A = this chain, B = another copy of it.
């Protein structure tokens, strides 16, 4: 059976003839704009060293928890996919065949769309992935990756990336960013790759190795990070260091959005417990809460934009976490409160127009109820795009439908790809552009906005808002 791989030019645009015509025109006006990627998880060493990527499985399947979680849910053994320590013993080609044989599982998912774009646009396939094309795919991709045209920097340029942000821990040396900066300065390469400050390993008392991390934090900064003042000074120092390496933002991945507004004495006493490793779960939560407020205060000082990504129950699958570690597709969203949780921080800094906090959520029920009203009032708050499980056509539609009427477009910040799947980055931005243009086209077709206004908004959502919000 012939199963052509066909990227239709109208894909994801609304099917209604009237709306689609408007959407096509809007999309055409933004499709070619450069990619600004203000938040994600690509590896800076790729761009620093510019070594070829490995084989198809190593690049496209093993690191992609969207792909392997679906296979796992249907009974596939993660060892056969080389996940975690199984990398040492698995057969990449066999793993790829498992993916290919199960390709129907991804029907209707964004992974399918992103992947099909990569297969078609990057590697030129014209037949769909499947059991019969598994080896053809594996070989073609693996061979291509060995060529210069598929090295990280070449793809960066081919992808028309204006700037990309990675995410590092305060304990990171940023050596790869320094190397890239050196190449930028010497003219060896022009690609702009910036870091972002993600302090969870030294902020969350329940993070694996937290106390060791504090010691390392001390070593790196020369501050005594087992004292509250030294700890805060170390953050200030590393934030400045990150800013020198291009960072314009921080990022905070907490279980909840809880913030706190403790007195200095209370905060210090709490830190002492935490630093000693002798604390309750409630104290850990309170410390994370207080640190969001501390970080907001530092952002007001140094201008770094603050991102909050709350509401994921990390490592929900106990046995899997014990066997294979974090980021194995077992993070599950939770119901998340913002209206009460953010109040302590907002009581302190909410009216600062020079502070910028970008809120994300995995709980869509808060879009219209909490997030849009909060962002539509507080000067310091903006709404990040639909995130993770909701970074999808339906998720993006729900985001715009639920937030626009209260927060408008101008309290949002454009698109984040938030991915380590470098090859699919253009596909992800393309999905956002198509969905936003479809939404705007509906507004025009329902005579809720003039066509020229929609065209302005399309430019803003694709390019202007993200640059402004992230100071890029």
Contacts and interface: CB of A to CB of B under 8 A. Distances in A.
A70 B377 CA distance: 6
B334 A339 contact: yes
Contacts of A106: 408
Interface in A371-400: 372-379, 381, 389-390, 392-395
A128 to B, nearest CB: 8
Contact of A373 (B4, B15, B389): B389
Most chain B C-beta atoms within 10 Å of own C-beta, residue among A445, A446, A449: A446
A212 interface: no
Interface of A: 3-4, 6-8, 10-19, 69-70, 72-75, 104-110, 113, 128, 313, 316-320, 329-335, 337, 339-340, 343, 346-347, 350-351, 353, 362-365, 368-370, 372-379, 381, 389-390, 392-395, 401-402, 404-411, 442-443, 445-450, 452-453, 456-457
Given A73-B376, A109-B405, A394-B404, 4 more contacts: A15-B445, A332-B373, A364-B365, A369-B389
Contacts of A15: 16, 18-19, 442, 445-446
Contact of A395 (B368, B389, B409, B442): B368
Nearest to A68: B377
A10 B447 CA distance: 7
Contacts of A381: 73
Most chain B C-beta atoms within 10 Å of own C-beta, residue among A108, A320, A333: A108
B390 A395 contact: no
A408 B108 contact: yes
Contact of A107 (B320, B395, B409, B445): B409
A351 B405 contact: no
B368 A3 contact: no
A75 B411 CA distance: 11
Nearest to A404: B108
Question: What are the 5 tightest A-B residue pairs by CB atom distance, in nearest-first order?
Answer: A8-B447, A15-B445, A11-B447, A75-B353, A392-B405
Contacts of A368: 364, 389-390, 395
15 contacts: A11-B447, A15-B442, A16-B18, A73-B377, A105-B408, A107-B453, A108-B404, A108-B457, A316-B377, A331-B373, A335-B339, A364-B369, A372-B389, A389-B405, A394-B402
A456 B104 contact: yes
Contact of A376 (B70, B318, B339): B70
Contacts of A3: 450, 452
A217 to B, nearest CB: 32
B351 A410 contact: no
A352 B445 CA distance: 47
Given A317-B351, A394-B405, A12 B446 contact: yes
Given A332-B370, A369-B365, A457-B107, A406 B379 contact: no
